[in-house]
Amino acid sequence: MEPYAETESLSRVRVVTRILVAWALIIFLRLIILQVVQHDELRRLAAAQQTRQVEILAPRGRILDREGRPLAMSLPVDSIAIDPVRIPDPYTASNILAGVLGLNQPELLGKILVGAKAGRHFLWVKRRIEPAESERLASFGFDWVESRRESRRFYPNGALAGNVIGSVGFDEQGNSGLELAYNDELSGHAGERTMLNDVRRRAFSEVVDNEAEAGRDITLSIDQQIQFVAERELARAAVENHAGTGTVVVMDPNTGNVLAMASYPTFDPNEPLKKGSGLAARGNLCVTTPFEPGSVFKVFTLSAALETTNLTPETPINCGGGSITLFGRTIHDTHRYGSLSFADVLAKSSNIGAIQIGLRVGDEKLHDYLLRFGFSRSTGSGIPGESAGVIHKLRQWSKSSIGSVAMGHEVQVTAMQLAQACSVVANGGKLVPPRTVLKMKWPDGTVEPEPVRPATRVLSPSTALTMRRLMEGVVLHGTGTRAKMPGYTSAGKTGTAQLYDFNLRSWVHRYNASFMGFAPVNNPAVVVVVTLYGTSGGTAGYGGPVAAPVFREVASTALRVLNVPKDLPETPAPVKEAAPADDDLAIAGLSAPSEPPQPEAVTTPPAVTQLLPAPVVPANFVGISGRRTPDFVGRTLRSVIEEASASGVRIEYFGAGIAKAQTPAPGSVLSPGETVRVQFGR
Amino acid sequence: MATLTCNRFLSASTGLELAGSEAHPGHEISGLPPFVTRSIPFEDIWFAKKPMDNSRLVRTQDPQERKVYWNSIAVLIVVVALGIAFLTPAAAGLMDGYTIQALKQEQQQLLRERSVLELDELRHLSPKRLEELARMQQFVDPGPDQLVFLDKGETVALNHARPKP
C-alpha cells in the first residue's frame, strides 16, 4: 500500500471508528441514564401506566332484628368525580350534572371553572350517589366523568328503631347508638389489589395485595314488628297528650332480651346529621334520660316492705285522711283515704300509704333494696351514653327523703332501669340484666353468641308472686284499668310525677306520666314500660289515661308476635273512662307546693316514731278480720282473682277451668292472714 | 481501503501479474512530481481474471448429510413445539385473564344489583308501608272472637297459600 492511500484510508477508518465509538458511548450513556439514573422514576411511570391500585371494599356488617330482618345494611355505591380540564363545555356539563345529581348548577359551574383554571384533573362532584343516579349518569358516557366505588349505609325502614341503631358519619363510622357501640365489630377492613392493564386500560390480571375483611353482622334482640307498634303508639300518645318526649321499653323478663326500645321524637338515620343539630338529638332516651318515676316506684317500696317487714297484702295502712306531715313537710294525697290495705295502697296509688310503708322499711333497707333492683347503676345494655340514674347515697338523704323516695321522688331512673326492675317482679325475683345484642356472625359464617350475664336474686319467689297479684289489682280495680287486654291478664302500676319548671320556679300542671307492667300475670312473657314527659290536661295527662293504653296496645302486639297463649276468653274488655281511680299523682310538693324540694330547709325533725302512729283500723275500714269467705264455686279463674283481689282475700288456686270447690267454705269467717284454697276443674 | 487491501493480497499471495503492470514499471507515487495529479481516481486498482472449469467435478454423496438434515428438522420441530408449549399457555392465560376480569366485573355488578333489589324489597316490606297499604285497602284487625271467612275464589294470598289436596 502506498503511503498516500494508507494515510487517507486510515484517517477515514479512524473517523468512522470514532463516530461509532461516540455513538456507542451515547447509547451507553443513555442506557445508564435510563436504567440507573432515572430508574425509579421510569419504573414508577411504567407502573402507573401498566398497573393501578384498586381498593377492595369491605362492607360494614349488617344489623338485623331478632328474626334476621335487616335494620341496617351497606351497599356499594358510586361516587362521581370529574376532570375539569377535559370538560369541553363547562356550562353544559354543569347543567347535565346538576340535573342528574340534584346539585346547584351555578355552584357546580363555579367549581368546574376554578378547577379548570387551576389545571386540576380531579374534582369530586358528589359522593355516594343513589344507584339510579349512577345509572343515569353512566348512560351519557362522558369520558371526563370518573366513577369510583364506595360504600354507603342504608336503613331500609327509615326512622324505625333509629334511636336504637344510631347512625354513621360520612366515613361510615358509627356516631350514635349501636352503630357507635359496636363500631369495631361492624367495621370491615378494606383490602387492596393491583390490576395489570393493557394499553387500553383493560385489566387482564390482578394481584391481591391485602385481603379485605368484611364487618360482622349483628343480630339484635329487637323485634321489628314490636318496635314499630311501640313507636307508633308512643308517637300517637305523645301527640294527643302534648308530651315533649316519651319512651317505651319492651323486655322479656326471663331472658333480659330487649324486644323494643322506642323513643319520641325519633329520627331517620338515613338523613345526614344537620349542621347545628347535635348528636344528642339522636340519643336513645330509654337509657340516656333519667326522670322522676313517681308512683311506679311504689312497687319497689312495697316489695322491700314485703321482704323486710311483717307487712302483708292485707295489713291495713293508715293513710291519715289524705295528708301527712313529715319532718315539717306536709304531703298530700289526691284522695283522702283513712286507711287502706297494703294491697290497696298500690292499687289506689296512695302516696301517704307508700310513705308509711317506706317509713316502716327504713332508710337503710329501702336504699339497699333500690340498689338491689339495679337503680343508680348502668344496666349494661350496651347502648352508648347510658345514664346510671340517681339514687342519692344514704348519707345524703334528709330526714324526709324516705317519704319522697317511697313514692318515686328525689330519685331519677331510666326507662330501661324500670323495665329491668319490673322484670324482677315478673320473673320470680331475679334481676336479669337487659341485653340488646343476641349474636354476631363473622364473614366466614361463624356465629358468636353474646354472653349472657348472670342473674342475681333480689326478691324471694313468694314476694315476687305476691307483688304480681298486687300489681294485677292495679289493673283490675286500681288506677291502671286501661291496661286491661282482651285475651290476656296483665299487671302493672301507673305513675304520674308533677314537673317543676325551673324557669318559673314553681310546679306546673305538666306531668311525667308512666306505666310499668307485664303480661300475662301467671307466666309473664313481656314487661312494658311507658313514659311520656310533659303531658298536660289535668288528670287526663296522668299515667292511667295516657300511658296505660300504650301499654295495652304494645303488650298485646308483643304477646301476639311472640305466640304467647291467651289466658283469658277473648271478650272485649270494657274500658272505664276517666275515673277518680286514675289519680295516681305522686305529689312532690310538700307543705309549699310551689317550691321544689329543699331537704336542707328541714329543721328540727321530729322522731320518726312520733310521725308514725301504730296502724289504726278506722271505723270505716272493712278489715280482714271478721271478713266472710266469698263464694268462688262455679266461677272462672279470672273472676275469682278479681273478686279476691277486690276484697283483699288471699287465695291459692289449683288446676284450671271453673272453680269446683273451696276451703274454707263460702260464708265462713276468715281469720286474718288466712288463705282460701280454690280447686278448679273442667 | 478494501480494494487496496485486496490488490495487495492478490499480489502477495498468488504471485499473479497484474494486468498493465508493465505499463507502469517502477511506479512510485511518492516519486511523482508534486505538481502531477492522477488522471482518474483509484487508477491503482487492477482486476485479475482467472478462468476456472469445474465441469469435471462430481458431487459426492455425504453420508452425514441426511442425518444433519433430519437433526435440523427435529431441532426445529422441538424448538417450535417448545415455543408453542411456552407461548400458547401464556397467550391463553392472557386471554383468560381478560375473560376473568370481565366476569368479575359482571359479578360485582350483579351483586350490586342484587343488593339494590334487596334494599328495595326491604323498603317495600317495611312495617310502615305495609300499614299504610292496609289502611288504604281498609284492612282491619279482627276483633276478639271474630272469625273472618274467606270467600272462595275472591281472596288471593290466603287461598294461594292453602296446600293442594
The strand ranges marked E within A277-418 are 316-318, 323-326, 329-332, 339-341, 390-391, 411-412
Nearest to B119 among A4, A154, A158 (CB): A154
Answer yes or no: is pLDDT of B142 > 50.
yes
Q: Are residues A651 and A547 in the same domain?
A: no
Nearest to B126 among A75, A157, A196 (CB): A157
Pairing of strands A339-341, A316-318: antiparallel
The C-alpha atoms of residue A1 and residue A68 are separated, in whole angstroms, by 104
Q: Are residues A151 and A203 in the same domain?
A: yes
* Mean of per-residue pLDDT scores for chain B: 74
Mutate to test the interface with B, among A14, A154, A208 (most CBs of B within 10 A): A154
A228 contacts B98? CB cut-off 8 A: no
The C-alpha atoms of residue A562 and residue A487 are separated, in whole angstroms, by 14
The C-alpha atoms of residue A653 and residue A677 are separated, in whole angstroms, by 6
The string of pLDDT tens digits covering residues A530-587 is 999 988 877 777 888 999 999 999 999 999 999 898 888 766 555 544 444 556 665 5
* Residue B115 to chain A, least CA–CA distance (Å): 7
Q: What's the mean pLDDT in B11-32?
A: 49
A225 contacts B128? CB cut-off 8 A: no
CATH number at residue A58: 3.90.1310.10
Residue A199 burial (CB count, 10 A): 7
Determine the pLDDT at residue A172.
Answer: 87
- Can you say how many angstroms the Cα of residue A276 is from the centroid of all Cα atoms in its chain? 24
Q: Are residues A216 and A229 in the same domain?
A: no
Residue B164 amino acid letter? K
Q: How many Cα neighbours within 13 Å face the side chain of A400?
A: 25
Q: Looking at the domain assignment, is residue A605 inside a domain?
A: yes
- Checking phi first, is residue A376 left (phi over 0); if not, alpha (psi -120 to 50) or beta? left
Determine the pLDDT at residue B7.
Answer: 44
The string of pLDDT tens digits covering residues A324-340 is 887 877 887 878 888 88
Q: What are phi and psi of A533, to 5 degrees?
A: -100, 125
Q: Is A674 exposed, middle or buried (0-12, 13-18, 19+ CB in 10 A)?
A: middle
Q: Which residues of A touch B126 (CB under 8 A)?
A: 156-158, 160
- What secondary structure does DSSP assign to A507-560, as a single string? EEEEEEEEEEEEESSSS--EEEEEEEEEE-SGGGGSHHHHHHHHHHHHHHHHHH
B108 contacts A156? CB cut-off 8 A: no
Answer yes or no: is pLDDT of B155 > 60.
no
ω before A520 within 30° of 0 (cis)? yes
* Mean of per-residue pLDDT scores for chain A: 84
Specify the residue for cell string 344507584. A131
Q: Looking at the domain assignment, is residue A293 inside a domain?
A: no
The counts of H helices and E strands in chain B are: 4, 0
Q: Looking at the domain assignment, is residue A31 inside a domain?
A: no
Among the residue ranges A288-292, A463-467, A573-577, the one predicted with the least confidence is A573-577
Answer yes or no: is pLDDT of B163 > 70.
no
Mutate to test the interface with B, among A157, A225, A552, A571 (most CBs of B within 10 A): A157
CATH number at residue A471: 3.40.710.10
Q: Yes or no: say if A555 and A528 are a contact pair by the CB < 8 Å rule.
A: yes
What's the ipTM?
0.70
Q: Are residues A259 and A407 in the same domain?
A: yes
The residues of A that are catalytic are 295
Burial A105-130 (b: 16+ CB within 10 A, else e): eeebbebbeebbeeeeeebebbebbe
A158 contacts B126? CB cut-off 8 A: yes
Q: Are residues A229 and A358 in the same domain?
A: yes
Q: Are residues A240 and A216 in the same domain?
A: no
A224 falls in which pLDDT band (50, 70, 90)? very high
A68 falls in which pLDDT band (50, 70, 90)? very high
A3 contacts B145? CB cut-off 8 A: no
Tell me which chain B residue has its CA closest to the CA of residue A78: B112
Q: Looking at the domain assignment, is residue A15 inside a domain?
A: no
Q: How many contacts (CB atoms, under 8 Å) link A and B?
A: 78
Q: Yes or no: say if A363 and A642 are a contact pair by the CB < 8 Å rule.
A: no
DSSP A19: H
The string of pLDDT tens digits covering residues B72-117 is 999 999 999 999 999 999 899 999 999 999 999 899 889 888 988 9
The C-alpha atoms of residue B35 and residue B19 are separated, in whole angstroms, by 27
Q: Looking at the domain assignment, is residue A289 inside a domain?
A: no
Determine the pLDDT at residue B153.
Answer: 56
Give the total residue count for chain B. 165
The C-alpha atoms of residue A239 and residue A511 are separated, in whole angstroms, by 14
Mutate to test the interface with A, among B3, B28, B112, B120 (most CBs of A within 10 A): B112
B4 contacts A5? CB cut-off 8 A: yes
- What secondary structure does DSSP assign to A597-645, as a single string? --GGG--SPPPHHHHSPPP---TT---STTPBPP--TT-BHHHHHHHHH
Task: Please enumerate residues of B whose Cβ is less than 8 A from a Cβ of A.
Answer: 1, 4-5, 8, 29-30, 44, 94, 97-98, 101, 108, 111-112, 115-116, 118-119, 122-123, 126-128, 131, 143-145
Q: Are residues A255 and A186 in the same domain?
A: no
Q: What's the mean pLDDT in B6-26?
A: 45
Answer yes or no: is pLDDT of B22 > 60.
no
Q: Yes or no: say if A366 and A406 are a contact pair by the CB < 8 Å rule.
A: yes
Residue A578 contacts B where some CB pair is shorter than 8 Å: no
Q: What percent of chain A has pLDDT over 90?
A: 48
Q: Looking at the domain assignment, is residue A137 inside a domain?
A: yes
Burial A30-65 (b: 16+ CB within 10 A, else e): eeeeeeeeeeeeeeeeeeeeebeebebbbbbbbbbb
Q: Yes or no: say if A78 and A147 are a contact pair by the CB < 8 Å rule.
A: yes
- What secondary structure does DSSP assign to A209-229, as a single string? EE--BPPPEEEES--HHHHHH
Among the residue ranges A201-205, A486-490, B39-43, the one predicted with the least confidence is B39-43
Q: How many domains would you assign to chain A?
A: 3
B97 contacts A204? CB cut-off 8 A: yes
Decide: helix, strand or coil at residue A119: coil
A204 contacts B127? CB cut-off 8 A: no
* Residue B37 to chain A, least CA–CA distance (Å): 13
Q: Are residues A574 and A550 in the same domain?
A: yes
Q: Yes or no: say if A350 and A474 are a contact pair by the CB < 8 Å rule.
A: no
Pairing of strands A491-501, A585-586: parallel
- Cα–Cα nearest to A567, from A471, A680, A489: A489
Q: Which residues of A touch B97 (CB under 8 A)?
A: 196, 203-205
Residue A154 contacts B where some CB pair is shorter than 8 Å: yes
A592 falls in which pLDDT band (50, 70, 90)? very low
Q: Are residues A201 and A311 in the same domain?
A: no
Q: Which of A188, A220, A252 is the last residue of a domain?
A: A220
* Residue A72 to chain B, least CA–CA distance (Å): 10
A3 contacts B30? CB cut-off 8 A: yes
Q: Which residues of B touch A5 (CB under 8 A)?
A: 1, 4, 29, 44
Residue A156 amino acid letter? P
Q: Helices A298-308 and A461-477 sit at what angle, rounded to 10 degrees?
A: 140
Question: Structural domain of residue A376, as residue ranges?
Answer: 224-266+301-439+450-611
The string of pLDDT tens digits covering residues A603-626 is 233 333 333 333 333 333 333 344
Q: What's the mean pLDDT in A481-500?
A: 90
Determine the pLDDT at residue A109.
Answer: 92
- Cα–Cα nearest to A291, from A409, A374, A414, A421: A414
* Residue B22 to chain A, least CA–CA distance (Å): 18
* Residue B162 to chain A, least CA–CA distance (Å): 21
Residue A69 contacts B where some CB pair is shorter than 8 Å: yes
Higher pLDDT, A191 or A596: A191
Determine the pLDDT at residue A287.
Answer: 93
A17 falls in which pLDDT band (50, 70, 90)? very high
Tell me which chain A residue has its CA closest to the CA of residue B42: A5
A32, containing H or E segment: helix A3-32
Determine the pLDDT at residue A235.
Answer: 94
∠ Cα A495 A471 A627 (to 5°): 125
Answer yes or no: is pLDDT of A371 > 90.
yes
Q: What's the mean pLDDT in A214-242?
A: 94
Q: Yes or no: say if A248 and A515 are a contact pair by the CB < 8 Å rule.
A: no
Determine the pLDDT at residue A360.
Answer: 92
Among the residue ranges A284-288, A335-339, A629-633, B16-20, the one predicted with the least confidence is B16-20
Tell me which chain A residue has its CA closest to the CA of residue B141: A557
Q: Are residues A521 and A605 in the same domain?
A: yes
A171 falls in which pLDDT band (50, 70, 90)? confident
Distances (CA, A) of A84 to A88, A120, A121: 9, 7, 6
B144 contacts A205? CB cut-off 8 A: no
* Residue A57 to chain B, least CA–CA distance (Å): 11
Mutate to test the interface with A, among B43, B46, B119, B132 (most CBs of A within 10 A): B119
A572 contacts B30? CB cut-off 8 A: no
The string of pLDDT tens digits covering residues A636-665 is 877 787 777 777 777 877 777 788 778 777
Q: Are residues A656 and A577 in the same domain?
A: no
Q: Are residues A129 and A161 in the same domain?
A: yes
A154 contacts B112? CB cut-off 8 A: no
Q: Which of A595, A611, A627 is the last residue of a domain?
A: A611
* Residue A131 to chain B, least CA–CA distance (Å): 8
Q: Looking at the domain assignment, is residue A13 inside a domain?
A: no
* Residue B84 to chain A, least CA–CA distance (Å): 21
Cell numbers at residue A163, please? 334511636
Most confident of B14-18, B36-40, B45-49: B45-49
B145 contacts A156? CB cut-off 8 A: no
A166 falls in which pLDDT band (50, 70, 90)? very high
Determine the pLDDT at residue A5.
Answer: 56
Q: Looking at the domain assignment, is residue A630 inside a domain?
A: no
Cell numbers at residue A428, please? 320470680
